[in-house]
Amino acid sequence: MSQAAIKLYRHPLSGHAHRVELLLALLELPTELVFVDLAKGAHKQADFLAINPFGQVPVIDDNGTLVSDSNAILVYLAKTYGNGRWLPEEPLAAARVQRWLSVAAGQVAYGPAAARLITVFGASFNADEVITRAHALLKVMDGELARSPFLAGDAPSIADVSNYAYIAHAPEGNVSLEDYPNVRAWLQRIEALPGFVPMQRTAAGLQAN
């Protein structure tokens, strides 16, 4: 019996939603993309709040199983469909992945993701502060990627999927990747994975020219 399409409620400019879209593509799972119009507040309407009370994208509906929060969805998909490839069972390897999921929810969210929210969505963060935070993160990330091809080791995992979009699109938030050759090489390795799908780019920040 063929796998029923997984519904992904998303916005094309959301890096959080792209994490899920990317893993679904890498896992070759049939997917139905459901557009949520954030600009019109669709994510705060009663019908959407019924599937995610936090009023955020992404949400997946896997044949009646609803899962929200991008990193939680990555864990669910990896455990359900990944055959151990995207989220290892071995304790230390699993911890290495979890560490980078925490970075994605912390330093990435409050650094490069926040910087991009200013230019793309008009958010009211302090640009100097979040750009400084982004470069502090990128410096650490570049150092770690000097020692391994992927964030959690020698093979790609949901650690990479979770961190990819906001790092790849950091220039849209005026965060240059020029000084981080290992990060740039890592982005190219992700983009070379079979099934990779990009996130829509915007002409903002350093991408405006």
- Calpha distance 74→5 (Å, rounded): 16
pTM as predicted: 0.93
Indicate whether 67 and 97 sit together in one domain.
no
- Calpha distance 178→110 (Å, rounded): 20
Indicate whether 15 and 59 sit together in one domain.
yes
- Calpha distance 104→160 (Å, rounded): 9
CB atoms within 10 A of CB 148: 14
What is the structure's pLDDT at 4? 86
Q: What is the pLDDT of residues 91-122, one digit of tens each?
A: 999 999 999 999 999 999 999 999 998 888 77
7 to 4, 116, 121: CA distances (angstroms): 9, 26, 25
- Calpha distance 32→54 (Å, rounded): 22
- The yes-or-no verdict on residue 78 having pLDDT over 80 is yes
62-77 core/surface letters (b: 16 or more CB in 10 A; e: else): beeeebbbbbebbbbb
81, 112, 146 - which closes a domain: 81
What is the structure's pLDDT at 40? 84
Indicate whether 68 and 137 sit together in one domain.
no
145: tokens are 């990627």
- Calpha distance 147→153 (Å, rounded): 9
Domain of residue 37, residue span = 6-81
> What percentage of residues in the chain have a pLDDT greater than 70?
96
Indicate whether 125 and 77 sit together in one domain.
no
CB atoms within 10 A of CB 83: 9
CATH of residue 115's domain is 1.20.1050.10
